[in-house]
Copies of this chain bind each other. A is one copy, B any other.
């Protein structure tokens, strides 16, 4: 996080490349480049933007705003500029937050050529009339949109999909937390025996998701059983999730189960409250079963999209707990088979040592009761979460039972 934080990322450019290269030290992420003007559904890949320096000199020649101190000071995708202007002219290109006078806001202008600076409202209030020099040493050229992808094969070609974005400059929760936690999820997934194949992408938001989907949607539609958009997972506040478009996908089922079963306080946001790449993944015709997982959701916390979203807000504990939660989600999916009983009527559990041989009043021990209840609902239509719900026993108390019944060949696991 500390190494990645200062890098000036945007939806294209060297900041993204540099970020992905640092993440590659921890996980074998493949890097892809898509050329400017490439069509992606209704969009085209924009020009690549890079920036070396930018500042404002006040009438006295003092450097009052300096890109080198914080890349948030420059509006993303600003065109090059080098001229002297009056304060009223400057003001048309300044962005500040009257309600958060100490914060530098995060502003972009990706799809209309423009330039600007972001400063605290407090600083802005003190600017005096005079001639200011504005200087932005940026470049907009035909180049590439860069993204990372890793496909980790599993026993099945069915896929779990994870998506996070790498296009935000120096802000910590939204959005360095997503790529960082996701990279460490990749490390962990690589160590596991996997039922599912994993498709994990590190993309610029919106245009990156759209570009990726335009190249992969056919495969993804057939393969993905559940997907999670990972964003704002570094603070220590309550979890939240944004439901899918109709709120009824397998990803919703899993997310809600995990939050509820952990006794976590969490907020279920309606799809109307969406704002990140779940917008694309759930759009009609795309229809992927994707929800977004966050701590404090983007847009809901005061530091959001300002210089206050920094390494004070994001903590090792926040990152680590989110990592655990996401592991938990993946573990539940991996274990959540539908089961089918193998013999008609109840099997004779006694001969397998699973039933008391002496039958007396109240003698059906809770273990045997659990087995026959499990078998009663192992009818090929219920998955482990359904069985758990029907027999009112938590899923984590059923894992070893399912293993035992598989060993005894009393059930089979359906793909």
Residues of chain A having any CB pair with chain B under 8 Å: 40-43, 75, 95, 97, 105-112, 114, 116, 206, 209-210, 213-214, 217, 245, 271-272, 275, 279-280, 282-286, 299, 304-306, 340-341, 343-348, 350-351, 357-362, 364, 372-373, 375-380, 391-392
Contact = CB atoms under 8 A, between A and B. Distances in A.
B283 A358 contact: no
Given A279-B372, A373-B272, A392-B272, A286 B359 contact: no
A286 B345 contact: yes
A392 to B, nearest CB: 7
B110 A359 contact: yes
Dominant secondary structure of chain A at its interface with chain B: loop
A345 B42 contact: yes
Contact of A217 (B111, B343, B344, B378): B344
Contacts of A40: 345
Query: Lowest 6 A-B CB distances belong to which pairs?
Result: A284-B379, A112-B357, A42-B347, A107-B360, A305-B361, A42-B343
Contacts of A341: 283-285
Contacts of A392: 272
Nearest to A282: B376
Contact of A379 (B214, B272, B285): B285
Nearest to A275: B364
Max chain B Cβ within 10 angstroms of own Cβ: one of A116, A271, A345, A350: A345
Copies per assembly: 3
A360 B100 CA distance: 14
A243 B75 CA distance: 58
Contacts of A97: 361
Nearest to A116: B358
A21 B97 CA distance: 73
B111 A348 contact: yes
Given A283-B376, A375-B283, A392-B272, A345 B109 contact: no
A214 B299 CA distance: 62
Given A214-B344, A245-B376, A283-B375, 20 more contacts: A41-B345, A42-B348, A43-B345, A95-B360, A105-B360, A105-B361, A107-B360, A108-B358, A111-B350, A114-B358, A209-B345, A213-B345, A272-B373, A272-B391, A279-B346, A282-B376, A283-B344, A284-B377, A285-B344, A286-B344
Given A272-B391, A361-B304, A346 B111 contact: no
A286 B341 CA distance: 11
Contacts of A358: 75, 107-109, 112, 114, 116
